[in-house]
C-alpha cells in the first residue's frame, strides 16, 4: 500500500469516525430533549389532611396536562409528576425531598401542605439549589427564610397577611374587641401568634389570652375555659383538621357558643365529619372559591375537573378549592419559569421565576409575581372567607 493510499485511508477513517461521533452526539441530544422534565410533589397523601394533599395533586396534574397538550416545556419535553407522601411528618418530608432530588433527579419540587414540613424542607432546598414552590403552607418564614439566594416560592396565603385579615374580619362581622387565641403548638402556631399579636398591636389591642394545644389533643376544655373566664368574645383558631374539630367538640361540651375565626386548617380534610354540626360555625380564610361567577379559566378548570373525576358534579365537590387552585397556578408559573430559564438547572429556574412577565391564572392575573425580594405571588387582596354548609365549602354570606 502506497503512502498516498495510506493517507487517503486515514483521512477517510477519521471522517467516518467524526460522522459516527456526530451522529451519536445528535442522537444523545435528541434522546435528552425527549426525556420528560420531572416535577416532584411532597405532600400529605394519607391521614387527616389527605383530602388537601389529593386536591393539590389534582390541581398539578390538570395543569401538567394543559402544558403537555401545548407542547410541554423547553421545546417539546413533557412534564411528569412524581408524588411522595410526607404523612404530615417533617422528617418524612425531608426524606422524600432527598429521594426526589438525588434519585429521581427532579427539576423542581412542589410541596409543603403543613408549615412544619415545609420549614423542615427549606434548608435542604436552599442547600441543593432546588426550586421549591409551596401551594398551601402559610408560615411566613417559609419564603422569608433569610437565605441568599432563596429557592422557596409560594402561591398561597401568608400568615402575617392572614392574621391581619382575621382581625379585620372578626371586628367587622362579630364586633370583636376581646379576642382569644387557640393555637396548635408547632411552628405554624408560632408564626400566627407572632402575626396576630402584631395585627392587634397595630390597632392598640391585645388578646385576652393565648392558649396552645398539641395536634394529638382530644380535650381542649381547660384552655377554652381559661379564655372564657378572661372574657373572650371571639376565638382566633390556628390548627389543621383534627385539632380544629376537637376545639369545636370541646366548645360543645362546655355549651359555649362563641364566634370562631380560623386560618384555613379546617378546609384540609374531613372537618365536618369530625367536628359535628357546629363545625359550620367556623369561618375560615381561602384563596379561591369555585362558587359564583367564574373567569374563563375558572369555568375551564371546573369543566376539566368534572370530565376527569366522575365524582365531581359541580363546584361543591372540588374541595378543598384552595388545594386545586393554588396548585394549578403554581404549576403553570413553574412551567413558565422553566421555559424562561431555558434549562432545568436549579439556579437558572430560580431566576426564571423573576422573568415571568404575566400569566392569566385561575386565582388572578399575575403580573411580575416574583422578584428577588418578593417570593409570594398572592396578597391579602386575593383572600376570601368561607364556611362549611352541607359539607361543602362556600363563601360566607357576610364576607367582604
Question: Residue ranges of the domains in the chain?
Answer: 35-157+292-381, 162-286
Interval 71-119: pLDDT, tens: 999 999 999 999 999 999 999 999 999 999 999 999 999 999 999 999 9
Q: What is the pTM of this model?
A: 0.83
pLDDT at 268 over 80: no
- Do the domains spanning 35-157+292-381 and 162-286 agree at the CATH topology level? yes
- CATH architecture designation of domain 35-157+292-381: 3-Layer(aba) Sandwich (3.40)
Nearest CA to 178 among 225, 231, 257, 222?
Answer: 231
- The predicted structure's pLDDT at residue 24: 47
pLDDT class for 47, splitting at 50, 70, 90? confident
Q: Kindly state the average pLDDT of the residues 260-274.
A: 86
Cis amide linkage into residue 320, ω under 30° from 0:
yes
Helices (H) then strands (E): counts for the chain: 12, 14
- Record: fold of 162-286: Rossmann fold (3.40.50)
The mean of the pLDDT values for the chain is 91
Contact 242, 48 (CB under 8 A): yes
Q: What percent of the chain has pLDDT over 70?
A: 90
DSSP3 helix / strand / coil % (the chain, rounded to 5): 50, 15, 35
pLDDT at 236 over 90: yes
Q: How far apart are CA 44 and CA 85, in angstroms?
A: 5
- The predicted structure's pLDDT at residue 399: 41
Retrieve residue 375's grid coordinates: 417570593
pLDDT class for 7, splitting at 50, 70, 90? very low
Buried b (16+ CB within 10 A) or exposed e, 311-331: ebeebbebbbbbbbbbbbbbb
Q: Kindly state the average pLDDT of the residues 221-239.
A: 98
Query: In what side-by-side order are the strands of the sheet with 260-262?
Result: 209-213, 179-184, 234-238, 260-262, 282-286, 384-389, 392-395
- The predicted structure's pLDDT at residue 272: 84
pLDDT at 14 over 90: no
- The predicted structure's pLDDT at residue 61: 98
- The predicted structure's pLDDT at residue 398: 55
Nearest CA to 102 among 127, 128, 76?
Answer: 128
Q: Are β-strands 108-111 and 37-43 bridged in parallel, bridged antiparallel, or unpaired?
A: parallel
Half-sphere exposure in the Cβ direction for 26 (13 Å, CA): 6
Phi first, then psi: give them for residue 57, nearest 5 degrees.
-60, -40
Amino acid at each position: 500500500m502506497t503512502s498516498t493510499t495510506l493517507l487517503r485511508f486515514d483521512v477517510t477513517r477519521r471522517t467516518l469516525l467524526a460522522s459516527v461521533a456526530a451522529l451519536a452526539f445528535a442522537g444523545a441530544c435528541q434522546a435528552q430533549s425527549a426525556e420528560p422534565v420531572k416535577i416532584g410533589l411532597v405532600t400529605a397523601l394519607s391521614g387527616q389532611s389527605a383530602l388537601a394533599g389529593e386536591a393539590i395533586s389534582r390541581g398539578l396534574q390538570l395543569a401538567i396536562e394543559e402544558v403537555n397538550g401545548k407542547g410541554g416545556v423547553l421545546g417539546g419535553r413533557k412534564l411528569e409528576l412524581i408524588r411522595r407522601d410526607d404523612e404530615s411528618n417533617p422528617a418524612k418530608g425531608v426524606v422524600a425531598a432527598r429521594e426526589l432530588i438525588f434519585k429521581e433527579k427532579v427539576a423542581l419540587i412542589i410541596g409543603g401542605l403543613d408549615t412544619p414540613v415545609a420549614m423542615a424542607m427549606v434548608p435542604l432546598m436552599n442547600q441543593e439549589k432546588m426550586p421549591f414552590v409551596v401551594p398551601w403552607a402559610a408560615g411566613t418564614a417559609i419564603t422569608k427564610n433569610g437565605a441568599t439566594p432563596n429557592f422557596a416560592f409560594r402561591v398561597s396565603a401568608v400568615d402575617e397577611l392572614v392574621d391581619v385579615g382575621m382581625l379585620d374580619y372578626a371586628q367587622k362581622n362579630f364586633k370583636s374587641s376581646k379576642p382569644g387565641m387557640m393555637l396548635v403548638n408547632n411552628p405554624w402556631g408560632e408564626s400566627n401568634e407572632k402575626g396576630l399579636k402584631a395585627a392587634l398591636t397595630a390597632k392598640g389591642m391585645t388578646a385576652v389570652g393565648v392558649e396552645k394545644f398539641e395536634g394529638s389533643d382530644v380535650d381542649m376544655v381547660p384552655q377554652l375555659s381559661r379564655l372564657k373566664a378572661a372574657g373572650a368574645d371571639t376565638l382566633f383558631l390556628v390548627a389543621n383538621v383534627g385539632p380544629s374539630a376537637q376545639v369545636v367538640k370541646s366548645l360543645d361540651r362546655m355549651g359555649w357558643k362563641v364566634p370562631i375565626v380560623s386560618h384555613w386548617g379546617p378546609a384540609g380534610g374531613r372537618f365536618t365529619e369530625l367536628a359535628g354540626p357546629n363545625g359550620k360555625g367556623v369561618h375560615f380564610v381561602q384563596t379561591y372559591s369555585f362558587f359564583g361567577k367564574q373567569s374563563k379559566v375558572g369555568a375551564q378548570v371546573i369543566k376539566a375537573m368534572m370530565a376527569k373525576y366522575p365524582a365531581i358534579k359541580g363546584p361543591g365537590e372540588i374541595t378543598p378549592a384552595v388545594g386545586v387552585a393554588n396548585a394549578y397556578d403554581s404549576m403553570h408559573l413553574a412551567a413558565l419559569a422553566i421555559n424562561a430559564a431555558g434549562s432545568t438547572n436549579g439556579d437558572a429556574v430560580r431566576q426564571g421565576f423573576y422573568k415571568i412577565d404575566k400569566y392569566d391564572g385561575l386565582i388572578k392575573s399575575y403580573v411580575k409575581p416574583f422578584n428577588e425580594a418578593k417570593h409570594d405571588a398572592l396578597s391579602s387582596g386575593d383572600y376570601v372567607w368561607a364556611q362549611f354548609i352541607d359539607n361543602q365549602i362556600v363563601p360566607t354570606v357576610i364576607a367582604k
